[in-house]
Amino acid sequence: MSLLEVSGIEKSFGAVSVLHGVDFSADAGEVVGLVGDNGAGKSTLMKIITGIYTADAGAITLGGEPLMHLSPGERRAMGIEMIYQDLALARQQDVASNIFLGREPVRSILGIPFVDRAMMKAQAQQMIDRLGANLPAINRNVGSFSGGQQQTVAIARALTFDPKVVIMDEPTAALAVREVQGVLDLIRQLKEQGITTVLISHRLNDVLSVTDRIVVLRHGTAAANLVTAETDMAEVVSAIVGGAGMPDAAAHEARG
């Protein structure tokens, strides 16, 4: 049994049917790419896994435990984390404040609780070190960081929840070329630590370089499940577009 099992997921919004019985799985420590054209259902599927949307039919288990009846917070407590494309960072605050936002450690002085800034800073640095990443300064506002450095902060924050599965939505989409490799290295670091990663991306070169498997969604179904080491760009693009070759737009995305 895989760590994350998704079976027969269906979802409609009013008269619009988005997902039609999607099956999806990911093993412990596996990096799975989730690709497909805009509107294929990638984001909807991930929001169902995290509990933001409720599926009309189907089942989801994590480590054999059913999740469908759990709230988003309960699913996070079970070990599912999602890093959205906008990262949801408080850009006017420093690294430690972002990593512990809303759950700051406190200590008591004469019975009065105070935020333990020293502990926050030390634990934040531990998370950055765990990723093998470098940041200019942990006490700087994250808004002054580059896109790749902000991704590091978002991943470090996810790690503090002790996740089993980390879902990343287009983590390299807005990055300069020189920063992309750093984020892909962070994904490899998660894999080394036994954390399952689901990578949603249009950048097929990135997907091919870092994943173990690639699942292609097309028109709300899982149209292909490819072993990365046994496939190539042409086969992935063909699965995305339905075997109709590589249109100019798809070819451009593949190169991007």
Residue 113: what pLDDT? 81
Query: Is position 57 within any domain?
Result: yes
* Low-confidence winner among 114-128, 159-173, 198-212, 220-234 (lowest mean pLDDT): 114-128
pTM above 0.95? no
Task: Establish if 91 belongs to a structural domain.
Answer: yes
> Does residue 182 fall inside a structural domain?
yes
Residue 226, domain CATH: 3.40.50.300
Q: What is the pLDDT of residues 68-81, one digit of tens each?
A: 999 999 999 999 99
Helix (H) or strand (E) holding 238: helix 233-241
* 205 part of a folded domain: no
Q: Identify the residue whose tokens are 């200590």.
A: 107
Residue at 204 is within a domain: no
Q: Looking at the domain assignment, is residue 179 inside a domain? A: yes
2: Cβ contacts below 8 Å, ≥ 6 apart: 25, 26, 27
User: With contact defined as beta carbons under 8 Å apart, do 131 and 191 qualify?
Assistant: no
Domain count, the chain: 1
Q: Are 138 and 95 in contact (CB under 8 A)?
A: yes
Residue 27 is part of which domain span? 4-197+210-255
Q: Does 203 map to a domain? A: no
Question: Over the range 180-217, which residues count as b (16 or more CB within 10 Å of their CB) and which as e?
Answer: bebbbebbebbbeeebbbbbbbbbbbbbbebbbbbbbb
pLDDT at 254 over 70: no
pLDDT band at 246 (very low <50, low <70, confident <90, very high): very low
For residue 112, with 0-12 CB atoms within 10 Å meaning exposed, 13-18 middle and 19 or more buried, which class applies? exposed
